[in-house]
Every structure is written in C-alpha cells, then in structure tokens.
Amino acid sequence: MGGEGRRRPVTGTAFKIYLTLLNSRRSLGVREIQHLVGLKSPSTVKYHLDRLMKQGLVKQLPDGKYVAVKADNPALSGYILIMNTPVPTLIPAAVGYAVFVLTYSFLTGNLDPVLILSSLIFAGYSFYEGLRTRKLLKYLSGRG
C-alpha cells in the first residue's frame, strides 16, 4: 500500500536528463548525458537514469545506452511531441485555428474583417502563450 503504484513527478536533474534524452535523435551513453546536462559525476547521471527507468520514462538498450520512453509524464501533459521535441499544445492549436478561419472565410467569400481580426488576435495570443510555456519548460530543464 506504499507509494509504489504512484509515480512521483520528475523534476530537477532527472527532468533535465529526461528532456535531454527526449530531444536527442539517438540513444545516449552516461558520459554523453553527463556532458550535455553539465554534471560533474557519471554516477549522478546513473542514479537519475535508474530512477527514470523505475518510472518507465527511460529504457536501457542492449548496447548500454539510454533512450526516453514517450510515457504519460505529468510534467509534459500540456505538450505534444513533434520530432521528439516537446511543443506546447497551444501552438499547433493556434495555428490550426487561424488557418481554419482564414480558409473558411476565403472559401465562403465572407471576409468579415471583425471575424478575421478577432480570430487572428486570439490565435496570436494563444501562440504567444504557447511560446511562454515552451520558455518555462526550458527554464525548468535548466536550459533557458
């Protein structure tokens, strides 16, 4: 009945390592991760990798290198992965909404300036908030 069934949120150094693996286009070894994250000790990296593996967020390959597992991570709940890069969901939603309104307006011939302007303002604001959220993620991972 302990906390075994619940996953603790990934924060701090473990979060930095997870994002580094998630953003990588290939598997990484302990020393590579140590260099990319800026840690002094490979044992610190290994400790955090072991924690991440227990949570199902990272797996070790037969060659000894590590890759991120795209799991249900609460820290990334407001993001989608595009080419292994976390992107705030607000950004594609804002772009999609703006494209829809503009396309619909042109196809129907209803070029109501109030509708178009208000839609673009809403989409622009959503896009801006998405960029702020991305900046927060970079800050939390120690890269911003």
Q: Are residues 28 and 67 in the same domain?
A: yes
Going from the C-alpha of 108 to that of each of 48, 97, 102, the distances in angstroms are: 56, 16, 10
Whether residues 91 and 45 share a domain: the answer is: no
Model confidence pLDDT, tens digit, residues 93-114: 888 888 998 899 889 998 889 9
In this prediction, residue 4 carries a pLDDT of 45
How many domains, the chain? 2
Are 84 and 50 in the same domain? Answer: no
Interval 20-74: pLDDT, tens: 888 787 899 999 999 988 899 999 999 999 999 988 889 999 999 999 887 666 6
Same domain, 88 and 129: yes
Give the range of the structural domain holding residue 70, as residue numbers without chain letter: 3-74
Shared domain check, 17 and 47 = yes
Q: How far apart are the first and last CA of the chain?
A: 39
110, 52: one domain: no
- Examine the domain organization and report whether 66 and 84 are in the same domain: no
